[in-house]
Amino acid sequence: MMVQNRITQKATDYEWYHFTKEQSDIIKTFFDLAQEFESMEDFYLLCVLALSQSMKVTSRLHLVNKDGILNLVRTSDDPSNVCGIPSKDVTLSSEISDLGNRLLLPVFDGMWWHAVGPMAPMGMYEVIGEEPFSEQEKFFLGKFVNRLGVVVSNRRVAMQNVQHIAFVSNLVTDIEHNVIIPNMYFKHLFNKLRKKIADMEQLQDRICVMKESMGLKGDKSCQEIIDQASALHESLIEYHREMQKHHDSCSMFLESLFRRDHFEKGELVLRTRRCLVETEIIAPQLEHYEKRLKDRGVTIERPRDMEGEEIPLQVDVGLLAQVYANFFSNAVKYASPVTLEDGTVRHSVAYGREFVADCFGPACDGVKFNVFTTGLHLTSTEAAKIFDEGFRAANSAEQSGKGHGLTFIKQVVEIHGGRVSYEPTSQGNNFCFFLPLPPAEK
């Protein structure tokens, strides 16, 4: 109804404006040709000539540049002049300056009518006539400049968007060339390190053989050296395993987040395949956070019915892995102990899945995946907003973060055709998401 009412109101307004045919033609010409000229130079020239050629006036458009300085960008009396310094008396003002046969009108951007308080103009439009302007002409010029401001603002924003897209496109190329490809070299380094560790193991065996051949079997100092070498060997193997694990995870995240397809399409683009959800997605991320969970006293409760299970879903492994990474990261931050009825304390994170019939409508079954953490419930207000961008619950004040993790989860799940949900339970909070099962493979 609002749109219909505004259309009716505008029809009434136009009757009240009493624009002359020439004035109406000026506005129509400006709007029509604003769609025709692509370059900003031609567009700015249109802004001054559309008025000057019909009203026989001199028009000058002044706009604030990125440094906040007011510049003369086009003038009808010298169309070849692209930019210059305005007259000393041309300054930014939110009010119209009536100087007889010369008017200075503020140019506001396209959202000026939504401003709550006073809004600074983005430029000034100067009109110089042979005689002072009538009240009707001043009214028309005010309306014309208002509409001009909307189009100027939209064109400048569009140009900024084009420049931004070009920058992002170049940035993606740089990331691919300078980050992702060099990152592959780490695999070579890890293999070399693993070989050195194997060499150390062989050296340790040779020392033991030499000890036996030299009759030093009972020599304590010799055994201490062997024990130290053995301990060093075991620690190097553990460090190598940990580094390899973190590298594999980071590499997968880099590849899945910085795909060229994402930036070309302007949205996340899936690369799906069937996989072992627990083995390939959940377990590696849980292993990544296992030590941090243990350090916080959080016990990991694993299901018994997911091991080796290949759920008939086509998913993007890299993106879905980051869904679980966000869940487990939140578990480290927010899982807290609860006392059960029998007096025991539970401080844990758990995950699982269940098949849900008609989850997405009649004969459209789905799978519900969940990550549960013990702790206090979210309030009803928090629960309603928990997946919104930038929202953080009251218990997050002392934790780092920007409130983006759950929004990212929602985005990834929804492009898979699913939905997210939050459920308070008797002992904590259950975050879950639903993915549809392919009809042919239910």
Whether the per-residue pLDDT at 115 is higher than 50: the answer is: no
Query: Which secondary structure element, helix H or strand E, spans residue 46, and what is its range?
Result: helix 40-55
- Band (442; pLDDT cuts 50, 70, 90): very low
pLDDT of residue 250: 76
pLDDT at 182: 59
Q: What is the pLDDT of residues 245-288, one digit of tens each?
A: 777 777 777 778 778 787 777 788 889 998 889 989 999 899 88
Average pLDDT over residues 40-52: 92
Confirm whether pTM is higher than 0.85.
no
Question: Higher-confidence residue: 402 or 198?
Answer: 198
Which amino acid is it at 113? Answer: W
CB count within 10 Å of CB 259 equals 21
Report whether pLDDT(174) > 70: no
User: Encoding tokens for residue 384?
Assistant: 């309603």
Q: Quick check: 229 pLDDT over 50? A: yes
Phi first, then psi, for residue 415 (nearest 5°) are: -75, -15
What's the distance, Cα to Cα, between the start and end of the chain in Å? 45
pLDDT band at 12; cut points 50, 70, 90? confident
> Distances from the Cα of 33 to the Cαs of 25, 43, 151, 184, 233, in angstroms?
12, 8, 11, 52, 76
pLDDT band, residue 430 (cuts 50/70/90): very high
DSSP secondary structure letter of residue 273:
B
Structure tokens at 131: 């005689």
What pLDDT is stored for residue 18 in this prediction?
83
Q: Which of the four pLDDT bands, split at 50, 70 and 90, describes residue 214?
A: confident
pLDDT of residue 118: 64
Min mean pLDDT across 12-16, 255-259, 271-275, 356-360 is at 12-16
